[in-house]
Amino acid sequence: MIHQSTFFEKSEPTAQETQFRLGVPFNVHHERMFANHRRFNAAFFSRRKAIADHLQIPLVGWGAGPLGFIDEFHLDRESTRSLSEQAGDQIEGLVKASA
């Protein structure tokens, strides 16, 4: 499983994210969307992690390895490759363990 988080879960924004004011609402729709995110996403992410833990499968991107933050709207080429490699490594480990 892949943990896909947003800007709001990051502990430290990058200089570019701060410069472009990522996470700052620019209209009423953003305000509602950001408020809903803050209200519901912690439970969503916790449940996702609990499912991975219950299934005893890794949750790539949950603070492990070089990718601790994955956001569908901000994936670049290197991040996509790194995520794919981490997921592949985890799958390979599971396959070897079950053989």
The per-residue pLDDT for 54 is 92
Does 43 have pLDDT greater than 60? yes
- Average pLDDT over all residues of the chain: 77
Residues 6+ apart with CB under 8 A from 52: 1, 3, 58, 59, 62
The string of pLDDT tens digits covering residues 17-33 is: 888 888 888 888 889 98
The per-residue pLDDT for 49 is 85
Task: Give φ, ψ of 60 to 5 degrees.
Answer: -60, 130
The per-residue pLDDT for 92 is 85
Rg (the chain; Cα; Å): 16
pTM score above 0.75: no
